[in-house]
Amino acid sequence: MRTKLRRAQDGAVLDKTFRAGEKFRPIRTETRRMQFLYSDGSDAHFMDVETYEQMTLPEPSVEQSLRWIVPNEEVEILYVDEKPADVQVPSAVELTVSDTQPGVKGDTASGGGDKPATLESGVTVRVPLFVDVGDRVRVDTRSGEYVSRA
């Protein structure tokens, strides 16, 4: 069986071939609810909402997930063998538009076309022409595409 595996520690993708009947050691996975505090450029800082204990994750290993999270938001941290490994974000998030070109009279949902909009987390997505600054939009985190207004 030929596989492509992603290493949890650093995100590296490995090509691995397994023979029939080969065994794997069991690993323990769990998720813990934590609050995202801030990112300082090298680490992302989180706080356990039950024990108020703080921990950090290297920012490069979780930067894809951090695109969809704003400070003080609660997220689930995936632990693999008692070590924090990844941030789990929902398949769609609601964020506020912080910057976009102003809408023009006549821009409607059926008018077609789109424009770039910067969301409160800093990520830029394409939105329909009728979306303005301050609107809350729903975005698919897997593809980075606009879904609807919230």
Q: Are both 84 and 96 inside the same structural domain?
A: no
Q: Are residues 101 and 62 in the same domain?
A: no
Last residue of a domain, one of 62, 88, 114: 88
78 within domain boundaries: yes
- Using alpha carbons, select from 65, 64, 75 the residue that is nearest to residue 36: 75
Domain boundary among 70, 88, 106: 88
**Per-residue pLDDT reduced to its tens digit, 11-28:** 688 998 988 888 888 889
Does residue 83 lie within any of the structural domains?
Answer: yes
Dihedral pair phi/psi, residue 64, rounded to 5°: -65, -40
pLDDT digits (tens, 9 = 90+) for 95-128: 999 888 886 655 555 556 788 899 998 899 998 8
Question: Are 71 and 111 part of one and the same domain?
Answer: no
pLDDT score of 109: 55
CA-based nearest residue to 68, from 89, 97, 47: 89
The answer to whether residues 84 and 116 belong to one domain is no
In a domain, 114, yes or no: yes
Structure tokens at 99: 């910057």
Show the CA angle centred on residue 7, arms to residues 44 and 55, nearest 5°: 25
The pLDDT tens digits of the residues spanning 30-49 come to 999 999 999 888 899 999 98
Does the residue 18 lie in any domain? no
Is there a domain that residue 118 lies in?
A: yes
Split into its structural domains, the chain has a count of 2
User: Does residue 138 belong to any structural domain of this protein?
Assistant: yes
**Domain range spanning residue 108?**
92-149
**Residue 21 is assigned to a structural domain of this protein:** no
Determine, yes or no, domain membership for 133: yes
Tell me: do 31 and 84 sit in the same domain.
Answer: yes
| CATH number, domain containing residue 100 | 2.40.50.140
